Structure 1
């Protein structure tokens, strides 16, 4: 492969070459930066370049390797970091103009863990204001575009991350997820991700002035968006390394025990009143058949009520947002995001006072129901969204827009509320009137078994291939 095509390598391919010395960190990182400089102006996925620091770090890694240092598990892998997480010397803007000068004094655990493993940060990716939309646009950094075309939103809130990694800007993209912010961009861009369960990845921002609300703490997780399931297996063991700054991190290994016999998968097409689009229906069938071909025992069966759990959880989150976050949105947010939040509060009427405490307590009820179900069926294959991904700014179109964008996504935020891991993987390329777009499905796993969700994603990927092979020819 020539130097000009090194940006196409997945992380596991980069590591295979850098660890043998066939490829230097400087070459791998330099190719990713060249790709970023070529395609990012049209995408606006990366809003802060780290190119100079990245090249210095890559050369330092190569020198240390030459001096006898053992290369880390992610040696020379170019990565991006979302702008709502602290990286020393860079502004943690969270897409908010008022935070443009809030320079991080230290690295967040995820940044430290990636760099300790030998990864190199090449840029920081865009997020909507307050990281609280399923689309990515803000007055400070502007709009991020989907590499598949401007007929599709890039997703959010890790929209910059999803667009960047699928466009070839780095092999790994950091993101986070409180209601779907890893899985929305994965679905929009045809990428692969796993939303880790509660406590799996250490989290904290050294720049923060106060602790987040309890639901924000228990629903939000850090993760990675990749082009292949294999890259999740490669990188997540480094991301989950313990950090004492997160006192609730659970120090479990990435891989759990190998289950005996075929893994049972509960298969459902439940959309809870929303119409299931034929392309999503076909993607679910393809994913089901792929898992069956791979030896999984797939059974179509009714699961515990994801709608009740999801809606209750998001209404509780809106109650916390109303109390703790709404004043900042009103003070520092654009008119667009203030209007969107008003519709959020109408779509998900916030719980307040005693009722909020009762609904927060009910989280254990839902988690117990699902725990019992997942004891029999370790995996659940379901829709992510009932329809193909929406257009940019759909959530600015009042109640109907928010109802389509977030209201329909109960399979997403239900898993955040219960703290369960959930992977997203493309299972179909739909040829729609507006243009081609990927269709992702979701795989929920029992607690602490992100690895099983990723294994299933890999089985689906083995049948349908990776979406980047279709995307890159379209990009030129």
Structure 2
């Protein structure tokens, strides 16, 4: 029955292995069979580590037989995005010229997952240089949304999301500086956690230089899962300080407590920004479910919301314009270049003095949010004001206005603030995933998980899906 293990969640797998109701090897073989079946259709896993994973699974079973202490992810297959170091594998970041960047050690979060017992089964696709809300590059090609190939799977962690949505693995790693976890989770119908800045250490020794300052302050790593319980286990297993990341926090990892109902600020309208009615209906429905569970829900606009989104864009786009655009133009496919130019053209230039002032203003906005969240510990918004974008959105040059960029404001506000946020699926609309976003205050991920559990209980159980189309079109 090993072929059915790919339907199981991470907690279910770890429990069955711990109780000797199955073995790590059997679970791994089930996932490998699933990969062979569906990965040719979606092109999500682009570096399969079959030999290494089999050896790790055998070692995991020996540990069980010896009676060793077992971690919370013992025997659970996972994927890691190709922009984070895995020992002895290339950290390509979707760029052919980086194919020889072989890591000599695991990134801290990979090591932490391994220490928790996880088995790294493969690496997942990303756009070139991990830029954008689509997943395509010249090295591996395009990742397709398993629900509908005409839609984006999200980016930049589109491969990670597709690997979990289709059951190739129960957990996947992603990272996020502008929606790269939450948007793929939204597009693929998953839970995706962007933790508090510093909660999960970020480091890849194969990077030639450290990121510029705003990029350092924006990027975080987090997990994808099909359930809240799995997301919780995955998050805490990758969390904790590591000296390789000076920004990583010593904040203690919480115990098994659950946060109770609280006040929720609901944002269902942003002046001047267009929206799809489906996204607003999802927010209204989620607010109703939270209300029924004892939460106090109020329509409240958080402080300086549009300003926070626009400031994030200006600070990060300034760094991209100064140091990354040439790399995108040299290494990315045409649609990613079009996306970059559309965003840069819609974002005003900044002088150095304006950049300095923007970083200072960021602090004042964070302060106002932390005070606001004393009264409203949770903020409920759409994940984006629009439905998942068509996969060919940037096939031709696109002109964006500042108002159109603000349609992505729910994705852009949390990276500026460093606050935790989570994409939560709310069901299907015309057989396409729909969802919402929850935000909490610093290091209050348990508030997100508790509220997410309420919404999860109202939505049909998320199970792995079969892609709705044939084989991935090679040569695309």
TM-score range normalised by the length of the shorter chain: over 0.9
Name the CA distance, whole Å, in 1 between partners of 2:256 and 2:368: 23
Contact 1:288 1:381 in 2 (8 A): yes
Contact 2:241 2:248 in 1 (8 A): yes
Name the CA distance, whole Å, in 1 between partners of 2:466 and 2:286: 23
Match of 2:473 in 1: none
Name the CA distance, whole Å, in 1 between partners of 2:254 and 2:285: 26
The SS at the match of 1:408 is helix
1:451 partnered with 2:446 = yes
Range with bigger deviation, 326-335 or 377-386: 326-335
The SS at the match of 2:398 is helix
Q: For each residue in 1:196-229, what CA deviation from the matched residue of structure 2 results, as whole angstroms up to 9, or x when unmatched?
A: 1111101100112211111111000001111111
Range with bigger deviation, 188-197 or 337-346: 337-346
Match of 2:328 in 1: 329
Name the CA distance, whole Å, in 2 between partners of 1:31 and 1:455: 31
Q: For each residue in 1:351-406, what CA deviation from the matched residue of structure 2 results, as whole angstroms up to 9, or x when unmatched?
A: 23111111111110111111111111000011111121111031344334797985
Name the CA distance, whole Å, in 2 between partners of 1:18 and 1:199: 32
Contact 1:178 1:220 in 2 (8 A): yes
1:100 partnered with 2:106 = no
Contact 1:428 1:439 in 2 (8 A): yes
Match of 2:474 in 1: none
Contact 2:339 2:398 in 1 (8 A): no
Contact 2:2 2:26 in 1 (8 A): yes
Range with bigger deviation, 335-344 or 184-193: 335-344
Name the CA distance, whole Å, in 1 between partners of 2:122 and 2:258: 39
Q: Deviation of residue 61 (structure 1)?
A: 1.2
Gaps of 5+ in 1: none
Match of 1:88 in 2: 87
Q: TM-score, normalised by structure 1?
A: 0.94
1:377 partnered with 2:354 = no
Name the CA distance, whole Å, in 1 between partners of 2:45 and 2:303: 39
Q: Deviation of residue 68 (structure 1)?
A: 2.7
Name the CA distance, whole Å, in 1 between partners of 2:260 and 2:289: 18
Taking structure 1 as reference, are residues 300 and 70 closer, same or farther at Cα in structure 2, changes over 3 Å only? same
Range with bigger deviation, 124-133 or 348-357: 348-357
Q: For each residue in 1:264-294, what CA deviation from the matched residue of structure 2 results, as whole angstroms up to 9, or x when unmatched?
A: 1111202342333222122112211111122
The SS at the match of 1:349 is coil
Of residues 453, 461, 464 in structure 1, which corresponds to 2:456? 461
Match of 1:173 in 2: 172
Taking structure 1 as reference, are residues 244 and 152 closer, same or farther at Cα in structure 2, changes over 3 Å only? same
Name the CA distance, whole Å, in 1 between partners of 2:321 and 2:370: 30
Q: Deviation of residue 468 (structure 1)?
A: 2.9
Name the CA distance, whole Å, in 2 between partners of 1:259 and 1:71: 24
1:358 partnered with 2:353 = no
Match of 2:386 in 1: 387
Range with bigger deviation, 303-312 or 405-414: 405-414
Name the CA distance, whole Å, in 1 between partners of 2:385 and 2:330: 35
Contact 2:95 2:138 in 1 (8 A): yes
1:226-375 superposed matches below 5 A:
226-255=225-254, 262-375=261-374
Q: Deviation of residue 234 (structure 1)?
A: 1.4
Of residues 426, 434, 438 in structure 1, which corresponds to 2:433? 438
Q: Deviation of residue 305 (structure 1)?
A: 2.6
Name the CA distance, whole Å, in 2 between partners of 1:194 and 1:374: 19
Match of 1:16 in 2: 15
Q: Deviation of residue 167 (structure 1)?
A: 0.3
Name the CA distance, whole Å, in 2 between partners of 1:447 and 1:123: 32
The SS at the match of 1:122 is strand
Gaps of 5+ in 2: 471-476
1:19-58 superposed matches below 5 A:
19-58=18-57
Q: Deviation of residue 306 (structure 1)?
A: 1.6
Taking structure 1 as reference, are residues 59 and 375 closer, same or farther at Cα in structure 2, changes over 3 Å only? same
1:123-202 superposed matches below 5 A:
123-202=122-201
Contact 1:97 1:139 in 2 (8 A): yes
